[in-house]
Chain A
Amino acid sequence: DTEVTQTPKHLVMGMTNKKSLKCEQHMGHRAMYWYKQKAKKPPELMFVYSYEKLSINESVPSRFSPECPNSSLLNLHLHALQPEDSALYLCASSQQLLVPRAFFGQGTRLTVV
């Protein structure tokens, strides 16, 4: 199994809503990532979890709240988002340390209205 599974594939939410994005992998990877990608731009790193602990937060606003309940799951909780937060949110995972190759999920297309 070399898949990273993200749900939902599409999400439309209002600015007052609370929603969550989910990511799952069963490759035994101990590093998991959230990236944000706007149209015609490269993916931008948001958060890195290493061994279920938040290790990198790239100055992301607090309306985005990551959570890593266990080594296979990664969530991104969303609250009070702005229309400019509309983007493709990508989850990725990698083996720790020795093989710096990230496997990406299909992404969640988020639209904030």
Chain B
Amino acid sequence: DQQVKQNSPSLSVQEGRISILNCDYTNSMFDYFLWYKKYPAEGPTFLISISSIKDKNEDGRFTVFLNKSAKHLSLHIVPSQPGDSAVYFCAASKGQENYGQNFVFGPGTRLSVLP
């Protein structure tokens, strides 16, 4: 049973336009959400995160929106650049005191930004 879902396996966007990547989760105990970007044969690179007590977090071209009632979050990239082409993973975490974080990843969305 997938706790974190990314229903679009791929997305193509024109350079300069907005990219919107979506993520849904089922476990209401998740209290932190993260987006990672991954190139082939590399480890995931952290992009941006949001705590469950917030509904928006911005960092440069990247903004993450969280809708707790809908158990939905989205990553907006504006403007999109060809270098943004990668696989984007949504991850959710439920903190466990003294036990580290259990990060659960979605299946990923492959973003292609076309010049």
Contacts and interface: CB of A to CB of B under 8 A. Distances in A.
Interface of A: 4, 6, 31-33, 40-45, 48-51, 55-56, 88, 90, 92, 94, 96-97, 100-107, 109
Contacts of A45: 102-104
Contacts, number: 78
B75 to A, nearest CB: 15
Interface majority SS (helix, strand, loop, mixed), chain B: strand
Interface residues of B, number: 27
B45 interface: yes
Residue among B34, B43, B95 with max Cβ neighbours from chain A (10 Å): B43
A101 B32 CA distance: 9
Given A32-B100, A50-B98, A106-B41, 8 more contacts: A31-B101, A42-B106, A45-B104, A48-B101, A55-B99, A56-B100, A90-B44, A104-B44
